[in-house]
Amino acid sequence: LNVTEEKFVLDTLAGCTEYKSILDVVVNAFYVQDGRYCPTSDRNLYTVICYLAAFQLEEIGLQQFSKIVKSLDTAKMQKFLRFFFNDLYLNTWIKDEWSHFYDSVYVKENWIDPLLRWQPKVQQLIEKLTDKLSNRTTTVKTSRVTQPKEFNLTLPKPRAIPPPLPAPLPLLPKRQPVPPSIYKPPKERKQLEEIKTKNIQKAKVSIRFLTCVCKGDPFSLNTLPVQGTILTGREINPFFLQYLEVVWESVLTQYFEELTKQPQDLIDNIPIKLNTAAILREGALYQRKLEEELKRIENLQQGAGDPSEFLEWQKEMRGKDLEEQLAEIECRRLQGKLSYEEAVLAHQNVIQENKKKADLLREEKAELMHLYAEKRLQEQKEMKELVEQVMEGHKNVKQAKAKVQEYKQQIVQQVCEESGELLRQALEEKEDQNRKRYELIQQIRAIESTSSMRHKFIDLTETGGHGLFGEMSIVELRERLALLKEAQKAAEEEKRDQIIYEKQAKEQLILDKLDQISQFRAELGRAAALKQEEKKKSQSGERPMKDERILNLQKKIVEKAMERKKQAGLL
C-alpha cells in the first residue's frame, strides 16, 4: 500500500475500535432482524461499512464510498444499507441506543442529521444495487449442448527411487561378565554347616555311649571312639535303667533342638556390610538411647521414682486385656458357626415350602396351556378371514403406484433445476476467490523478489562504538575469558583439596561409630538372652482357661448340628 492507502486503513481500524460499542448496536440489530441468515464471519465487514457511512462519509465522499460498496458482495451491501439508512430506524431506536453512550443533543447534531442528509443519495445507490441483483437473477438459462470428454484414465505411477541403505548400527562395547562369586554360597554358611555336622556326630556318639553304660553292655563299649574307662562286671537295677533312659532321652532331645537352632541364629548374625547412611543412623540411635539411660539414672539419683512397678502392672493389665480379646474373638467365631447351623436349618425349611409351591404352579400351568390352545385356534380362524380381505385390496394397488410414480418424477425434476442454479452460483463465488488469491500471490512474489542480502565485515580488534561503560573488542574479551578460566581452575583445585580433607574426617567418624555400634549390639544381645529366659520361665507357669460363654456356645452348636442331621435324614 502507498502512504495514503495505509493511512486510510489505519484510521478506519482505529475508528472501529474506538466506536465499537456504537457500531455493535447497529450490527447486532441487523443480525436479529434482516440478517438472520447471514454468516457471522461477515460481522467485521458490516462493522467497517457502518463506520464509514456514519463517520467518514463526508470526508471520503459518496463516489469513493459507492466504489467501496460495489467492490463487495452486492446482495450483502444492498441488505445492510437498506437496513441502516431507514428513516424510521435512525429517528427512533438507533438514536435512543446511541444516546445511552453519548449526549442525545451531540448524537442528533453530529451523527443522525448528517445520515438523514445523505439518505436520498444513498437510496439511489441502494436502488442501483437492487437493479443489479434483479438483472442477475432474471437471466435466461440457456441449454448447454453435451460435449464428449476423454476418459480420465489413471496414469501409471513413476518408479520410486530405492532408498539408500541404512547406516550400520554402532557396536556396543562388551560388558564385563558377572563375577562367579555371585552364584556361590558364602564361606560363613559352609563353615556353619560343617560345625553343625560335627556337633551332630558328637551327639550321636555320646548317645550310644550313654545307652551302653545304662544297659551294662561292656562289649559294645569297645566299638565306640570315646576315650575313657570301660564299665564291666557291674549289675544295675532294670527299673533304674528305664528311668535313666527316659531322663536321657528328654535331655538329648532338648540338646538336639538347641543344636538345630544354633546355626540359624549364627546365620541371622552374619556380618553385613553397611553403607555410610546406615552406620550414622544406627550410631545416632544408640547415642540417643545412651542419653536417655543417663538421664534416667540422674533422675533416680535426684529422688525420682522407678517406673518398673508401673510397667509390670501395665504388662499384667495388657495380658488380661489380651485374654479378654481372645475370648471375645472365640465367642464371635462360635456365634458365626451357630448362625451357620441355623441358616442351614432355615434353608432346608425353605426347600420344603418351595416344593409345595412348585406342585401348585404345575397344576395352574396345565390349566393355562389348555386355555391358550383354545385361544390360538380362534386367532387362526380370524387370521384366515383377514388374509382373504387383504388379497382383495391388492387388486387396487397398481393404480395407486402409477400415481405415486408420476408425483415422484415431478419432484425430481424440480430438485434438478434448483441444484443446477445453486451449483452455478457456487462456481461463480469460487472463481472470484481464486482470482483474489492469485492477485495476492503475485503481490507477495513481487515483494520477495525485491529483497537483497547485505554483508558487513567485522574487525575483531575494534569496539562496537555504542558508547557503553566497559566496552571492549572481541580479542580483549577472549583474553579476559582465558584469565577467568585460569582463576576458576585454581578455585576448583582448592575445593578438591577441601573435599578430600572432609572425606577423610568423615571416614574416621564412621569408624568410631562402627566401634560404638559393635559394643551396643553385644550388650543388647546379652539383655535379649536374659529376657528370653525370663519369658520362658513365666510362660511355663501359665495355664489356659476357658470362658463360660465359650462352653455354652459349643454346647448349642452341637445341639444344632444334631438337629440338622436329623432334618437331612428326613429330606
Residue ranges of domains in the chain:
3-138
- Torsion of the alpha carbons at 324, 540, 255 and 221, rounded to the nearest 10: -140
Three cell numbers written together for 160: 520410486
Residue type at position 299: N
**Count of helix runs (H) and strand runs (E) in the chain:** 16, 0
Give, as one character, the DSSP assignment of residue 188: H
CA dist 140 → 223, 412, 413 (Å): 138, 21, 18
The DSSP annotation for 388-416 comes to: HHHHHHGGGHHHHHHHHHHHHHHHHHHHH
What pLDDT is attached to residue 266? 45
CA–CA separation, 114 and 112 (whole Å): 6
What pLDDT is attached to residue 541? 52
CA–CA separation, 191 and 270 (whole Å): 12
> Which residues, 6+ apart, have CB-to-CB distance to 321 below 8 Å?
none
97-102: list long-range contacts, CB under 8 Å, 24+ apart: 97/25, 98/22, 98/25, 101/21, 101/22, 102/22
Element (H, E) at 7: helix 3-18
Q: What is the pLDDT along the chain (571 residues), one digit of tens a residue?
A: 788 888 888 988 888 898 888 888 888 888 888 888 888 888 898 889 888 888 888 888 888 888 888 888 888 888 888 888 888 888 888 888 888 888 888 888 888 888 888 888 888 888 888 888 887 644 455 667 888 888 888 888 887 777 777 777 777 788 788 888 888 888 888 888 899 888 888 777 666 655 554 454 444 444 444 333 333 334 444 444 454 555 566 656 665 566 555 444 444 455 566 778 888 888 888 888 888 888 888 887 777 666 777 788 888 898 888 888 888 888 888 888 888 888 888 888 888 888 888 888 888 888 899 888 888 888 888 888 888 877 777 767 777 777 888 888 888 888 888 888 888 888 888 888 888 888 888 888 888 776 555 555 677 888 877 778 878 888 888 999 999 999 999 999 999 999 999 999 988 888 888 888 888 888 888 888 888 888 777 665 544 445 677 788 888 888 888 887 887 777 6
What pLDDT is attached to residue 500? 93
Question: Which of helix, strand or coil describes residue 163?
Answer: coil
Q: Residue 57: name the closest of 44, 42, 43, 69 by CA.
A: 69
What pLDDT is attached to residue 350? 86
Residue type at position 471: E
In this structure, the chain runs to a length of 571
> Which residues, 6+ apart, have CB-to-CB distance to 186 below 8 Å?
270
Residue type at position 477: L
What pLDDT is attached to residue 494? 93
CA–CA separation, 239 and 152 (whole Å): 122
The DSSP annotation for 514-560 comes to: HHHHHHHHHHHHHHHHHHHHHHHHHHHT------HHHHHHHHHHHHH
What pLDDT is attached to residue 200? 84
CA–CA separation, 249 and 123 (whole Å): 131
Q: How far is CA 345 from the centre of its chain?
A: 50
CA–CA separation, 20 and 39 (whole Å): 20
Asked if 512 contacts 276 with a C-beta cutoff of 8 angstroms, the reply is no
CA–CA separation, 82 and 85 (whole Å): 6
Quickly count: other Cβ atoms within 10 Å of residue 65's Cβ.
20
